[in-house]
Chain A
């Protein structure tokens, strides 16, 4: 066998008469990266909306009893959540749009567009998530301590004096704050990796194969 023979066999190979029945009006449900990413973006967007609604609902129940100036601060936090969500979903929308334009570009241009749109979206996702972490820790601390919250804030402010008088409590506060921040970092990195970054790596691999001399 040589390439001339192979070319002849390629041209004369029998292909099935039929192609699988495809309903042109249904959405794709196959296992392509782009389909998985589109599904993940949509799923996360729904989760984000539900999460936002739950936070607003529960913090307005009598148990949490937000009142006065703290309620205003809380609404600012909600605004912060909405703005950060808007920022990264806007980037994901650009990526989503790029996945619909594959017929216009060469393979390399197409891969580059997908890669950078997705990379930019992931970076925005991670940076905005990190930015809301301090506010989230504060809200979490409030939910955890509830009526003791002002005392806890005071103890954080006067940590030197407080630590000398209440070493056990200081340790608890320290563990809660550090634990929440660590948990947030792990969650942000894991969510970004398993939902988006691992697919970005696959696109990068194809791009590298294409660019390799």
Chain B
């Protein structure tokens, strides 16, 4: 039992990037991100027995993580959310030392204005999945995945432009 748990934790550690990226896509503050990571890891652990290794661990992890993220709703505290958004904008303005990180922060800021499905599309696209793989993960047709992804990319561009940045 211990070995199985250790194997699982090792795999989670190897793929922790997926957890951090999904949580950053879906949640805009540290507390909610940690809660989402906890929920995903616990669900992965519960399902680990059924993981037969037919697909890669990361492929399986994408599926579980997104299924959890799509049905995860953060605590209702609208005022705090608004503060977090504004605070982050201030940080972007103040910190010019790292342009790449600044652009990424801006990207995440725009992502938080997308709906849950659009977030999933952008996440899978940035993880390098093909249209066919995105369609399989989300359970929609390949054509639908392509159309939706293009629309979401356009929406994202417009959002970033509306902040006054070139895209």
Contacts and interface: CB of A to CB of B under 8 A. Distances in A.
Contact of B47 (A3, A20, A103): A103
B137 A19 contact: no
A159 interface: no
A127 interface: no
Contacts of A7: 126, 128
Given A15-B17, A31-B75, A206-B117, A107 B137 contact: yes
A213 to B, nearest CB: 7
A148 interface: no
Given A33-B71, A110-B67, A210 B140 contact: yes
Contacts of B120: 107
A209 B115 contact: yes
A13 B34 CA distance: 18
Interface residues of B, number: 60
Given A28-B43, A31-B74, A108-B139, 12 more contacts: A7-B128, A10-B21, A15-B20, A19-B37, A22-B38, A22-B42, A28-B38, A100-B47, A102-B63, A102-B67, A103-B43, A210-B138
8 contacts: A1-B107, A9-B107, A33-B73, A106-B63, A107-B70, A109-B139, A202-B73, A206-B71
Given A102-B67, A209-B115, A20 B126 contact: no
Interface string B56-77: 0000100110111011111100
A188 to B, nearest CB: 25
Interface in B10-34: 12-13, 16-17, 19-21, 34
Contacts of A22: 37-38, 41-42
Contacts of B21: 10, 13, 15
A13 B102 CA distance: 11
A34 interface: yes
B67 A1 contact: no
A8 B105 CA distance: 14
A19 B41 contact: yes
Interface of B: 5, 8, 12-13, 16-17, 19-21, 34-39, 41-47, 50-51, 60, 63-64, 66-68, 70-75, 100, 103-104, 106-107, 115-118, 120, 126, 128, 136-140, 144, 147, 153, 160, 165-167
A4 B8 CA distance: 33
Contacts of B103: 1, 5-6, 9
A104 interface: yes
A30 B167 contact: no
Given A1-B167, A19-B41, A103 B73 contact: no
A149 B166 CA distance: 79
A100 to B, nearest CB: 7
Contacts of A106: 63, 136-139
A28 B19 CA distance: 16
